[in-house]
Amino acid sequence: MTCRPKKSNLTDEGVIMAKGMNKVVSGPDEAVRDVFDGAVLTMGGFGLCGIPENSIAALVRKGVKDLTCVSNNAGVDGFGIGLMLEKKQVRKMVSSYVGENKLFEQLVLSGELELEFAPQGTLAERLRAGGSGIPAFYTPTGVGTLIAEGKEEREFNGRKFVLEKGIVGDFGIVKAWKGDSMGNLVFRKTSRNFNPLCAMAGKITIVEVEELVPVGALEPDEIHLPGVYVHRIFQGQDYQKRIERKVVRSGGQS
């Protein structure tokens, strides 16, 4: 008796995950090739640290629109997500800090951009929950404030908690310091705050790295995010090392 193999219903991305194939793509334009109008993007970055600059530039070139961007911040004028705001590609932002972008302020106040605020820790946990298959969780953060309006509340041990939903994006778009062709990633300093969480929360996760290394070059104990979460990875280039806000003391002060 001959047994025929069962027909697989895995997508191309699923086959990559199952077989452990090389996930390297030629560059950012190929990496974002199927990002569609109206997509939800979980985008890495903390301030101006760890922003997926190459992928953002590719999205601008692609001209995709009506996007929902989940990001700790909205970049600044002329950089990061700010470039997408200039092209009116973003319909909604889910963020915790947006204070460095004048265009962002104008778009929100004019009603051209929808804004959902989330406390920073809550936003991080919503991304982690989404990436871990947890649909929602209760937190005391935001109880009694505008953040809690319209959300379910419950009391535990005499304290009120508000229900927050996990976030799952159609695409996770992040930047890492180092990565190998299997998608194992190492992040540098504060870029580790949100990039791993945004990567976990994406149905398809796209990663750009400052240094692409062969499999085996990374010590297992130094890997911050395993390749199981990553679908596409490419070597980035021409990164800017910006300072979000430079503050110096005046002369004569101790």
Domain boundaries, the chain: 36-134+167-235
pLDDT at 7 over 50: no
Tally of CB atoms within 10 A around 138? 15
pLDDT at 1 over 80: no
Q: How confident is the model at residue 230 (pLDDT cuts 50, 70, 90)?
A: very high
Average pLDDT of span 74-87: 91
pLDDT at 18 over 60: no
pLDDT of residue 233: 98
Any idea of the CA torsion for 63, 239, 233, 176, to the nearest 10 degrees? -120
| Contact in structure between 234 and 25 (CB atoms under 8 Å) | yes
Question: Structure pTM?
Answer: 0.86
Which CATH superfamily includes the segment(s) 36-134+167-235?
A: Glutaconate Coenzyme A-transferase (3.40.1080.10)
243 half-sphere exposure, CB direction, 13 A CA radius: 4
Measured in residues, the chain has a length of 254
User: Any idea which of 13-27, 32-46, 134-148, 162-176 has the lowest mean pLDDT?
Assistant: 13-27
Average pLDDT of span 100-105: 86
Tell me, rounded to whole angstroms, the distance of Cα 97 from its chain centroid: 14
